[in-house]
Structure 1
Protein backbone atom coordinates (compact mmCIF):
# COMPACT_ATOMS: atom_id res chain seq x y z
CA UNK A 1 0.00 0.00 0.00
CA UNK A 2 1.47 3.35 -1.04
CA UNK A 3 0.83 6.55 0.86
CA UNK A 4 -1.06 7.96 -2.14
CA UNK A 5 -3.72 5.28 -1.60
CA UNK A 6 -4.23 6.66 1.92
CA UNK A 7 -5.30 10.12 0.76
CA UNK A 8 -9.07 10.39 0.34
CA UNK A 9 -10.25 11.16 -3.18
CA UNK A 10 -13.48 12.94 -2.22
CA UNK A 11 -15.52 13.89 0.83
CA UNK A 12 -17.35 10.55 0.78
CA UNK A 13 -14.25 8.32 0.49
CA UNK A 14 -14.89 6.29 3.64
CA UNK A 15 -13.03 3.31 2.17
CA UNK A 16 -9.73 5.22 2.27
CA UNK A 17 -10.47 6.53 5.76
CA UNK A 18 -11.04 2.94 6.90
CA UNK A 19 -7.64 1.97 5.46
CA UNK A 20 -6.04 4.86 7.33
CA UNK A 21 -7.28 3.52 10.65
CA UNK A 22 -4.99 0.52 10.38
CA UNK A 23 -1.89 2.64 9.75
CA UNK A 24 0.76 3.78 12.16
CA UNK A 25 2.02 7.33 12.31
CA UNK A 26 5.21 6.30 10.49
CA UNK A 27 3.11 5.04 7.59
CA UNK A 28 1.22 8.33 7.17
CA UNK A 29 3.80 10.90 8.26
CA UNK A 30 4.56 12.00 4.69
CA UNK A 31 0.88 12.71 3.91
CA UNK A 32 -0.05 14.64 7.06
CA UNK A 33 -0.50 17.94 5.14
CA UNK A 34 -2.86 16.26 2.69
CA UNK A 35 -4.85 14.64 5.49
CA UNK A 36 -5.15 17.96 7.31
CA UNK A 37 -6.63 19.48 4.16
CA UNK A 38 -9.65 17.28 4.80
CA UNK A 39 -10.18 19.19 8.05
CA UNK A 40 -10.65 22.52 6.28
CA UNK A 41 -14.40 22.06 6.65
CA UNK A 42 -15.59 19.76 9.40
CA UNK A 43 -18.98 19.58 7.71
CA UNK A 44 -17.50 17.26 5.09
CA UNK A 45 -18.57 13.68 5.89
CA UNK A 46 -15.05 12.21 6.22
CA UNK A 47 -13.61 15.10 8.21
CA UNK A 48 -14.66 13.84 11.63
CA UNK A 49 -13.29 10.30 11.16
CA UNK A 50 -9.98 11.72 9.90
CA UNK A 51 -9.80 14.11 12.86
CA UNK A 52 -10.45 11.26 15.29
CA UNK A 53 -7.73 9.20 13.62
CA UNK A 54 -5.22 12.09 13.88
CA UNK A 55 -5.98 13.03 17.51
CA UNK A 56 -3.54 10.54 19.08
CA UNK A 57 -0.80 11.91 16.83
CA UNK A 58 -1.43 15.55 17.64
CA UNK A 59 1.88 16.33 19.28
CA UNK A 60 3.70 14.85 16.28
CA UNK A 61 1.64 16.87 13.79
CA UNK A 62 1.77 20.09 15.85
CA UNK A 63 4.25 21.75 13.43
CA UNK A 64 1.75 21.30 10.60
CA UNK A 65 -1.07 22.64 12.79
CA UNK A 66 1.09 25.65 13.62
CA UNK A 67 1.55 26.38 9.91
CA UNK A 68 -2.22 26.38 9.48
CA UNK A 69 -2.74 28.66 12.51
CA UNK A 70 -0.17 31.08 11.11
CA UNK A 71 -1.76 31.01 7.65
CA UNK A 72 -4.54 33.02 6.05
CA UNK A 73 -7.39 30.48 5.95
CA UNK A 74 -9.48 31.53 8.94
CA UNK A 75 -12.08 28.81 8.51
CA UNK A 76 -9.35 26.17 8.59
CA UNK A 77 -7.83 27.83 11.68
CA UNK A 78 -11.24 27.73 13.34
CA UNK A 79 -11.62 24.01 12.73
CA UNK A 80 -8.04 23.28 13.87
CA UNK A 81 -8.73 25.05 17.15
CA UNK A 82 -12.07 23.31 17.62
CA UNK A 83 -10.52 19.92 16.85
CA UNK A 84 -7.11 20.12 18.51
CA UNK A 85 -6.98 23.29 20.58
CA UNK A 86 -8.03 21.90 23.94
CA UNK A 87 -5.67 18.92 23.82
CA UNK A 88 -2.45 20.60 22.75
CA UNK A 89 0.52 20.85 25.04
CA UNK A 90 2.83 22.01 22.25
CA UNK A 91 4.45 25.26 23.37
CA UNK A 92 4.53 26.92 19.94
CA UNK A 93 0.92 26.02 19.16
CA UNK A 94 -0.15 27.32 22.57
CA UNK A 95 1.74 30.56 21.93
CA UNK A 96 -0.07 30.99 18.62
CA UNK A 97 -3.44 30.26 20.24
CA UNK A 98 -2.61 32.87 22.88
CA UNK A 99 -1.70 35.37 20.15
CA UNK A 100 -4.96 34.72 18.32
CA UNK A 101 -6.91 35.17 21.56
CA UNK A 102 -5.18 38.36 22.67
CA UNK A 103 -4.14 40.00 19.41
CA UNK A 104 -6.23 38.58 16.56
CA UNK A 105 -6.11 39.85 13.03
CA UNK A 106 -9.33 41.43 11.81
CA UNK A 107 -10.05 38.28 9.80
CA UNK A 108 -9.52 36.05 12.86
CA UNK A 109 -11.93 38.22 14.83
CA UNK A 110 -14.50 38.33 12.01
CA UNK A 111 -14.45 34.52 11.65
CA UNK A 112 -14.72 33.83 15.40
CA UNK A 113 -11.27 32.25 15.50
CA UNK A 114 -10.33 34.54 18.38
CA UNK A 115 -13.44 33.46 20.33
CA UNK A 116 -12.42 29.80 20.10
CA UNK A 117 -8.84 30.72 21.06
CA UNK A 118 -10.15 32.58 24.12
CA UNK A 119 -12.18 29.55 25.15
CA UNK A 120 -9.08 27.38 24.90
CA UNK A 121 -6.81 29.60 26.99
CA UNK A 122 -9.48 30.25 29.61
Structure 2
Protein backbone atom coordinates (compact mmCIF):
# COMPACT_ATOMS: atom_id res chain seq x y z
CA UNK A 1 0.00 0.00 0.00
CA UNK A 2 1.19 3.50 -0.82
CA UNK A 3 0.70 6.26 1.79
CA UNK A 4 0.74 10.06 1.58
CA UNK A 5 1.33 11.58 5.00
CA UNK A 6 0.70 15.20 5.97
CA UNK A 7 1.91 16.75 9.20
CA UNK A 8 0.34 20.03 10.32
CA UNK A 9 1.69 20.24 13.88
CA UNK A 10 4.99 21.76 14.93
CA UNK A 11 7.89 19.76 16.35
CA UNK A 12 6.80 20.40 19.96
CA UNK A 13 3.35 18.91 19.37
CA UNK A 14 2.85 15.21 20.19
CA UNK A 15 1.34 14.80 16.71
CA UNK A 16 4.82 15.25 15.20
CA UNK A 17 6.06 12.23 17.16
CA UNK A 18 2.93 10.23 16.29
CA UNK A 19 3.35 10.97 12.60
CA UNK A 20 6.99 9.89 12.71
CA UNK A 21 6.15 6.64 14.50
CA UNK A 22 3.34 5.99 12.01
CA UNK A 23 5.70 6.59 9.07
CA UNK A 24 8.24 4.19 10.59
CA UNK A 25 5.53 1.57 11.03
CA UNK A 26 4.37 2.01 7.43
CA UNK A 27 7.84 1.27 6.08
CA UNK A 28 8.60 -1.52 8.54
CA UNK A 29 5.35 -3.22 7.46
CA UNK A 30 6.54 -3.30 3.87
CA UNK A 31 4.38 -0.43 2.62
CA UNK A 32 5.54 2.70 0.79
CA UNK A 33 5.32 6.43 1.43
CA UNK A 34 4.82 8.40 -1.77
CA UNK A 35 5.21 11.79 -0.13
CA UNK A 36 5.52 13.48 3.24
CA UNK A 37 3.97 16.93 3.26
CA UNK A 38 4.73 19.44 6.03
CA UNK A 39 2.16 22.22 6.37
CA UNK A 40 1.19 24.97 8.85
CA UNK A 41 3.42 24.80 11.96
CA UNK A 42 4.97 21.52 10.79
CA UNK A 43 7.21 23.51 8.45
CA UNK A 44 9.30 24.34 11.52
CA UNK A 45 10.56 20.75 11.41
CA UNK A 46 12.58 21.77 8.34
CA UNK A 47 14.63 24.40 10.19
CA UNK A 48 18.19 23.36 10.92
CA UNK A 49 18.48 26.09 13.57
CA UNK A 50 16.24 24.65 16.29
CA UNK A 51 18.06 23.34 19.35
CA UNK A 52 16.39 21.06 21.85
CA UNK A 53 17.45 20.74 25.50
CA UNK A 54 19.68 17.71 26.00
CA UNK A 55 17.06 15.93 28.07
CA UNK A 56 14.41 16.17 25.31
CA UNK A 57 14.09 14.24 22.07
CA UNK A 58 14.79 16.26 18.93
CA UNK A 59 11.84 15.30 16.73
CA UNK A 60 13.00 17.55 13.89
CA UNK A 61 16.40 15.82 13.78
CA UNK A 62 14.69 12.43 13.88
CA UNK A 63 12.49 13.43 10.93
CA UNK A 64 15.58 14.56 8.97
CA UNK A 65 17.38 11.30 9.68
CA UNK A 66 14.34 9.18 8.84
CA UNK A 67 13.78 10.98 5.53
CA UNK A 68 17.45 10.77 4.61
CA UNK A 69 17.80 7.11 5.58
CA UNK A 70 14.79 6.08 3.49
CA UNK A 71 15.28 8.63 0.70
CA UNK A 72 11.72 9.89 1.03
CA UNK A 73 10.07 12.77 -0.77
CA UNK A 74 9.65 15.43 1.95
CA UNK A 75 7.86 18.57 0.80
CA UNK A 76 7.51 21.68 2.93
CA UNK A 77 4.70 24.04 1.98
CA UNK A 78 6.50 27.12 0.70
CA UNK A 79 3.78 29.60 1.68
CA UNK A 80 3.61 28.33 5.26
CA UNK A 81 7.42 28.16 5.43
CA UNK A 82 7.95 31.74 4.26
CA UNK A 83 5.43 33.03 6.81
CA UNK A 84 7.39 31.28 9.55
CA UNK A 85 10.87 32.25 8.40
CA UNK A 86 11.85 28.86 6.96
CA UNK A 87 13.92 29.51 3.82
CA UNK A 88 16.19 27.44 1.62
CA UNK A 89 19.08 29.02 -0.30
CA UNK A 90 16.93 29.95 -3.31
CA UNK A 91 14.21 31.63 -1.24
CA UNK A 92 16.79 33.38 0.93
CA UNK A 93 18.34 34.92 -2.18
CA UNK A 94 14.96 35.66 -3.75
CA UNK A 95 13.74 37.62 -0.72
CA UNK A 96 17.09 39.21 0.12
CA UNK A 97 17.45 37.51 3.47
CA UNK A 98 20.91 37.02 5.00
CA UNK A 99 20.69 33.26 5.55
CA UNK A 100 18.84 30.04 4.87
CA UNK A 101 17.80 27.57 7.53
CA UNK A 102 16.39 24.71 5.45
CA UNK A 103 18.30 22.35 3.17
CA UNK A 104 18.22 18.75 2.04
CA UNK A 105 16.29 16.56 2.57
CA UNK A 106 13.58 19.24 2.52
CA UNK A 107 12.05 20.60 -0.68
CA UNK A 108 10.04 23.83 -0.52
CA UNK A 109 7.10 23.63 -2.88
CA UNK A 110 3.42 24.41 -3.21
CA UNK A 111 0.26 22.81 -1.92
CA UNK A 112 -0.16 21.25 -5.36
CA UNK A 113 2.44 18.67 -4.30
CA UNK A 114 0.01 17.43 -1.64
CA UNK A 115 -2.80 17.26 -4.21
CA UNK A 116 -0.48 15.30 -6.50
CA UNK A 117 0.34 12.90 -3.67
CA UNK A 118 -3.36 12.34 -3.05
CA UNK A 119 -3.80 11.30 -6.67
CA UNK A 120 -1.18 8.55 -6.46
CA UNK A 121 -1.55 7.29 -2.88
CA UNK A 122 -3.79 4.46 -1.77
CA UNK A 123 -4.24 6.11 1.63
CA UNK A 124 -3.74 9.63 2.94
CA UNK A 125 -3.19 10.29 6.63
CA UNK A 126 -2.99 13.68 8.33
CA UNK A 127 -1.55 14.43 11.76
CA UNK A 128 -2.22 17.63 13.70
CA UNK A 129 -4.69 20.45 13.31
Under a length normalisation based on structure 2, what TM-score does the superposition of the two structures give? 0.38
Greater share of residues in strand = 2
Under a length normalisation based on structure 1, what TM-score does the superposition of the two structures give? 0.40
Q: Which has the higher contact order (CA 8 A, sep 6+)?
A: 2
